[in-house]
Amino acid sequence: MDARAKLLGHPIHQMLIVFPLGLLATSLFFDIAHLITKRGDLLIVSYWMITVGIITGLCAAVFGFIDWLSIPKNTRARALGVWHGWGNVIVVMLFIVSWFARYRTGAAATVPSAIYLSAVAVLIALFTGWLGGELVDRLGVGVDEGAHLNAPSSLSGRPAREESRTTHIGV
């Protein structure tokens, strides 16, 4: 099932999710490093990673929602998409609460509850990320209908057709 929201032939949601996942998860590692070293600058880095992670997460959510709307009703993919989407909304909301706790006390101050919220959010994100992988890798959501190992570039303007599977490169 091909994605609805695309840029240069590729699903925008799948391109954007690497930013919030990477930033938000890595912010927790900076928090942990702070707990070990007591360096306040690590909390400042974590704060700004969360800031950008929230913004990019909300952007990715818009395109994920657009793609979810095109999934046929009464399918496993549609149901998993609901769990994936709402789970990620919870992840972003937990990070927003963590961000506010840090903002109120100053980005360089240790806020145990903020770090705890981030840890819970990262654990949930591991599950919702797995659901996203299930949607793409197992159920084919966001995958070109004719995708195969020798499909032409998405920039070529040519469709990825089944009959092209017999084409071999460099043999």
Q: So what's the pLDDT on residue 108?
A: 63
Domain that holds residue 92: 6-145
- For the entire predicted model, the pTM comes to 0.84
- Inter-residue contact 128 to 161 (CB < 8 Å): no
The per-residue b/e assignment along 9-44, b for 16 or more CB within 10 angstroms, e otherwise, is: eebbbbebbebbbebbbbbbebbeebeeeeeeebbb
Residue 118 lies in a domain: yes
Residue 165 lies in a domain: no
Helices within 106-139 (DSSP H only)? 112-133
Q: So what's the pLDDT on residue 30?
A: 96
Q: Three-state SS for 39? A: coil
Domains held by the chain: number:
1
Structure tokens at 78: 């549609």
Min mean pLDDT across 16-20, 60-64, 109-113 is at 109-113
